[in-house]
Chains A and B, each alone.
Chain A
């Protein structure tokens, strides 16, 4: 079946530290891959996406590269800020008759000054 695995955290970093959140997936066919972010008290928002192998999604200083050979889509940011504190969800979208998005368990990130 289709599934997403990611490090659950919580992850605590100092401001300006380098961030990596690992995500691996299992899927049939060729899924699209996403990172969503959830700020406290809010719904999820799309952070970035990649639709095919070797694509790099980027937004707000975050990047992730679709690696088909390792079935991974790790999220990275070179220098985190306090405002990046949130829960990050890796997800995949399966192209079936009715597209469904499958989410990982989420990784909580806290950035301290």
Chain B
């Protein structure tokens, strides 16, 4: 456990609406990641952050933006949600003090109708 909390745990929204998912950590880890999990695709990296205000795109970043104004919070925003963004979203941190392991949050189930 690395003190990761994702919110909300579940969300249902309509196409075209903005959605923000929050990842909060309590251990001051530098690296944070957002993944989406879909059947047949495993986990795919959306965006990641290597420090406050330092973020970069992953392999499936289109339609998503992120912000990291504080070390402990990493926000993922869907500016205008689409049905293809229905997925389970996982936040992860990389613990440099624990052999560089990735620790994952419990996930957010997002449904876009």
Residues of A at under 8 Å CB distance from B? 4, 8, 36, 41-46, 49, 89, 93, 98-106
Contact = CB atoms under 8 A, between A and B. Distances in A.
Interface residues of B, number: 24
B40 to A, nearest CB: 6
Contact of B107 (A43, A93, A98): A43
Contact of B48 (A41, A93, A100): A100
B58 A8 contact: no
A93 to B, nearest CB: 8
B29 to A, nearest CB: 13
B106 interface: yes
B43 A44 contact: yes
B48 A103 contact: no
A11 to B, nearest CB: 15
A43 B41 contact: no
Interface stretch (B12-20, B60-68, B71-79, B96-104): B96-104
A89 B48 CA distance: 20
Interface of B: 31, 33, 35, 40-45, 48, 50, 56, 58, 90, 92, 94, 99-102, 104-107
A85 to B, nearest CB: 17
B106 A101 contact: no
B48 A44 contact: no
Closest 7 CB pairs of A and B: A43-B104, A105-B42, A103-B43, A103-B42, A44-B104, A106-B42, A98-B50
7 contacts: A42-B107, A89-B43, A100-B33, A102-B45, A103-B43, A103-B44, A104-B42
Contacts of B92: 43-44
